[in-house]
């Protein structure tokens, strides 16, 4: 499962996000950049927990946590854009990635519910 498209998209997100957050102004690097990185890594961790879950309730709980982390990430990305820490083109790019992750996550959640 870690070879599935959602893991590839989250990895692409991390590859894009980490270098950009390191360029945030110093006062935002310790607040907003840290929150962005934490949400992205927590998203990846929740997805891995879903793969490793032994039963459907545990998998569903991990997927719900991944959904929460994705929502947190989106909120912080939007805030970064509004504070002009991300340029419009970069924000558009990362919004596309998070939308695709959201679609893949939603599909996985629906599949888990129907099992």
pLDDT tens-digit readout, 12-64: 999 999 999 999 999 888 899 999 999 999 999 999 999 999 999 999 999 99
Mean pLDDT within 99-112: 96
Burial class (CB in 10 A: 0-12, 13-18, 19+), 108: buried
Model pTM score: 0.93
Q: Helix (H, G, I), strand (E, B), or coil: what is residue 59?
A: helix
Q: How far is CA 23 from the centre of its chain?
A: 19
Place of tokens 């692409």: 12
pLDDT of residue 29: 85
Superfamily of domain 5-114: 23S rRNA-intervening sequence (1.20.1440.60)
The dihedral formed by the CA atoms of 29, 32, 37 and 40, expressed in degrees to the nearest 10: -160
Of the candidates 9, 36, 30, 11, the one whose C-alpha atom is nearest the C-alpha of residue 97 is 9
Percent of the chain with pLDDT over 70: 97
């Amino acid at each position: 499962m870690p070879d599935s498209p959602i893991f590839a998209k989250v990895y692409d997100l991390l590859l894009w996000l980490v270098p950009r957050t390191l360029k945030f102004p110093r006062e935002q690097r310790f607040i907003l950049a840290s929150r962005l990185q934490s949400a992205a890594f927590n998203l990846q961790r929740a997805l891995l927990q879903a793969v490793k879950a032994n039963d459907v309730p545990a998998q569903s709980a991990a997927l719900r946590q991944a959904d929460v982390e994705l929502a947190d990430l989106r909120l912080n990305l939007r805030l970064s854009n509004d504070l002009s820490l991300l340029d419009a083109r970069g924000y558009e790019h990362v919004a596309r990635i998070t939308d695709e992750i959201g679609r893949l996550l939603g599909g996985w959640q629906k599949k888990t519910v129907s099992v």
